[in-house]
């Protein structure tokens, strides 16, 4: 059987527990009382905008996480889309231990070897024009810094973003976020504008043959922004793949067209590669698929392999002007040595172990397997993505594309029971989409394991119609 092939036997399997691999469960919290911890969660833990899952997670190793009651789960989302090399990678663990003991945190005006090394390694891997970097903690923070940088550089204040975007929860990042979290806090930053979401599956912009007309959609969006603008357009911020919106890949040519729109208006282009960066999509950065160099690139999540680390990368010229104009983004943890050392180690491993190529090859197997599932189950309306990043959209009817939130939740719950975590985005703006982004260290066998578990979930969930 070819790796990545979903077997019909899996589809007809009654739903017995999957075969467990031989790696051992971490022992750090092996004797906790899950029921007691759940009660304390309800008593002490503040709900910050998500429902806590029913299980307490007490261990993580490689591509697996472990619950307090002993359930072993294949983690197909790399934690919060971040553990690029898997959980507890031994070289990352050693790097953390060495720097925690010897070089952890410094005054923000000090610079250290791991920070310099990370800057050198990162800039050398990126295209010319992305020559200067500094390092922060979260993706939202890096986008906040990038937007402020664009405003200082251009002397303007209006920011354009894309429908369905997710850039963070700090003030300027949230104002440029058109997915969730905008309500309940009064006015956001003035001068924010939205382009239509580039959703090839659901957009109403169609050519006569029914194909997606993203050029007309983009031009229409800009015509509205030009009418709404007060004449102070500073920058556009965009993701190469809109993950939170349902894993929508920018159409070929979209990013280049977007940059042209920016250049005509004297704006900067900011690309947010929180999830797509560092090899996830088959290139070190997803911008390389289009050969487009943004004015500012932000990285986070994957760069720190789950530790709080983000980056803002730009040109020497933008830095020069920013310094002249007193740009300031001075934080407690800017250029901290410990997370920078981890980021440097992550990049070293990705290049040394040919993990970009592995992401490309394993991504091909993943998408072939998901396409096969689509051919077998009527509720799968669309499969999309690039490399080791995939979206599987669940619908009630393929023709009408009506969302099926209850069915998608049932499939997700069944997959979790069987031992697969493939995050289900269930926001009402687009229905239910599985967001799949496993560590790029994943093997053929682990791709196959996940596909078989997902197949079993579809096959054993009531209400799922089979096409075979």
pLDDT at 431 over 70: no
157 is in which domain, residue-wise?
103-352
Cα(224)–Cα(455) distance, integer angstroms: 44
Report the CATH number at residue 225. 3.40.640.10
CB 120 within 8 A of CB 288: no
Task: Based on the fold, state whether residues 126 and 265 are members of the same structural domain.
Answer: yes
pLDDT of residue 28: 85
- The verdict on whether 214 is a catalytic residue reads no
Q: Which residues, 6+ apart, have CB-to-CB distance to 351 below 8 Å?
A: 125
Task: Based on the fold, state whether residues 46 and 178 are members of the same structural domain.
Answer: no
Mean pLDDT over residues 102-116, rounded?
Answer: 97
Mean pLDDT over residues 20-31, rounded?
Answer: 68
- The verdict on whether 183 is a catalytic residue reads no
Neighbours of 427 (CB within 10 A): 15
- Mapped onto helix, strand or coil, the DSSP state of residue 194 is strand
Cα(332)–Cα(40) distance, integer angstroms: 31
pLDDT of residue 70: 87
Angle, alpha carbons 145-151-152 (nearest 5°): 85
The DSSP call for residue 232 is -
Mean pLDDT over residues 265-283, rounded?
Answer: 97
Report the CATH number at residue 400. 3.90.1150.10
Mean pLDDT over residues 173-181, rounded?
Answer: 87
Task: Based on the fold, state whether residues 418 and 333 are members of the same structural domain.
Answer: no
pLDDT tens digit string along 369-417? 999 999 999 999 999 999 999 999 999 999 999 999 899 999 999 999 9
Q: What is the mean pLDDT of the chain?
A: 92
Would you say residue 384 lies in a domain?
yes
Band the pLDDT of 182: cuts 50, 70, 90: confident
pLDDT at 226 over 80: yes
pLDDT at 17 over 70: no
- Closest alpha carbon to 105 in 115, 93, 117, 94: 115
Marked catalytic residue, from 141, 158, 213, 239: 239
Final residue of a domain: which of 352, 387, 422? 352
Task: Based on the fold, state whether residues 223 and 147 are members of the same structural domain.
Answer: yes
Final residue of a domain: which of 352, 381, 410? 352
pLDDT of residue 414: 95
Task: Based on the fold, state whether residues 289 and 405 are members of the same structural domain.
Answer: no
Marked catalytic residue, from 75, 144, 158, 166: 166
Would you say residue 171 lies in a domain?
yes
pLDDT of residue 19: 36
- The verdict on whether 166 is a catalytic residue reads yes
Marked catalytic residue, from 275, 283, 360, 374: 275
Final residue of a domain: which of 321, 352, 383? 352
Marked catalytic residue, from 435, 448, 455, 456: 435
- Closest alpha carbon to 461 in 424, 402, 413, 426: 413
pLDDT at 5 over 80: no
Q: Residue holding tokens 């890096």?
A: 142
In the chain, DSSP finds a helix count (H) and a strand count (E) of 14, 18
Task: Based on the fold, state whether residues 424 and 401 are members of the same structural domain.
Answer: yes
- The verdict on whether 151 is a catalytic residue reads no
Task: Based on the fold, state whether residues 155 and 299 are members of the same structural domain.
Answer: yes
Would you say residue 2 lies in a domain?
no
Which region among 42-56, 78-92, 329-343 has the lowest average model confidence (pLDDT)? 42-56
Q: Domains in the chain: how many in total?
A: 2
Task: Based on the fold, state whether residues 343 and 452 are members of the same structural domain.
Answer: no
pLDDT of residue 181: 83
- Mapped onto helix, strand or coil, the DSSP state of residue 381 is strand
- The verdict on whether 272 is a catalytic residue reads yes
pLDDT of residue 26: 82
Would you say residue 167 lies in a domain?
yes
Task: Based on the fold, state whether residues 127 and 247 are members of the same structural domain.
Answer: yes
Mean pLDDT over residues 291-317, rounded?
Answer: 97
Would you say residue 412 lies in a domain?
yes
Band the pLDDT of 427: cuts 50, 70, 90: low
pLDDT tens digit string along 189-203? 999 999 999 999 999
Task: Based on the fold, state whether residues 139 and 71 are members of the same structural domain.
Answer: no
Task: Based on the fold, state whether residues 75 and 142 are members of the same structural domain.
Answer: no
pLDDT tens digit string along 149-173? 999 999 999 999 999 899 988 888 9
Task: Based on the fold, state whether residues 79 and 171 are members of the same structural domain.
Answer: no
Cα(232)–Cα(267) distance, integer angstroms: 9
């Amino acid at each position: 059987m070819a790796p990545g092939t979903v077997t019909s036997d899996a589809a007809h399997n009654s739903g017995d527990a999957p075969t467990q691999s031989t790696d051992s469960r971490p022992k750090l919290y092996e004797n906790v009382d899950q029921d007691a911890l759940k009660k304390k969660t309800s008593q002490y833990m503040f709900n910050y905008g998500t429902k806590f899952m029913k299980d307490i997670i007490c261990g993580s190793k490689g591509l697996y996480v472990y619950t307090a009651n002993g359930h072993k789960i294949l983690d197909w989302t790399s934690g919060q889309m971040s553990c690029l090399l898997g959980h507890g990678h031994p070289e990352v663990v050693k790097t953390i231990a060495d720097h925690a003991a010897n070089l952890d945190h410094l005054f923000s005006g000090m610079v250290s070897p791991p920070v310099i090394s990370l800057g050198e390694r990162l800039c050398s891997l990126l295209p010319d024009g992305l020559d200067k970097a500094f390092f922060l903690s979260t993706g939202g923070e890096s986008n906040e810094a990038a937007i402020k940088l664009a405003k200082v550089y251009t002397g303007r204040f209006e920011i354009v973003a894309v429908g369905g975007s997710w850039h963070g929860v700090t003030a300027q990042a949230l104002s440029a976020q058109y997915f969730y979290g905008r309500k309940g806090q009064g006015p956001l930053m003035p001068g924010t504008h939205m382009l239509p979401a580039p959703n090839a599956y659901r957009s109403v912009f169609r050519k006569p043959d029914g194909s997606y007309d993203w050029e007309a959609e983009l031009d229409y969006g800009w015509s509205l922004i030009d009418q709404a603008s007060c004449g102070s357009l500073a920058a556009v911020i965009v993701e190469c793949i809109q993950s939170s919106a349902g894993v929508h890949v920018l159409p070929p040519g979209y990013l280049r067209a977007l940059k042209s729109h920016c250049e005509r208006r004297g704006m900067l282009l900011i690309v947010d590669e929180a999830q797509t960066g560092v090899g996830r999509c088959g290139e070190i950065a997803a911008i390389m698929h289009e050969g487009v160099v943004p004015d500012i690139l932000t990285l986070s999540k994957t760069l720190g392999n789950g530790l709080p680390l983000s980056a803002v990368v730009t040109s020497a010229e933008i830095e020069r002007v920013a310094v002249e104009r007193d740009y300031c983004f001075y934080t407690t943890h800017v250029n901290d040595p410990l997370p920078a050392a981890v980021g440097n180690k992550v990049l070293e491993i990705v290049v040394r172990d040919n993990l970009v190529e592995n992401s490309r090859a394993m991504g091909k197997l993943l998408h072939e397997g998901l396409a096969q599932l689509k051919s077998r189950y009527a509720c799968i309306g669309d499969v999309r993505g690039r490399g080791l990043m995939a979206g599987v959209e669940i619908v009630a009817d393929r023709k009408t594309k009506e969302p099926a939130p209850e069915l998608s939740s049932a499939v997700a719950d069944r997959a979790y029971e069987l031992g697969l975590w493939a995050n289900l985005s269930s926001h009402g703006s687009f229905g239910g989409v599985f967001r799949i982004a496993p560590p790029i260290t994943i093997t053929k066998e682990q791709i196959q394991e996940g596909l078989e578990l997902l197949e079993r979930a579809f096959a054993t969930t009531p209400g799922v119609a089979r096409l075979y």
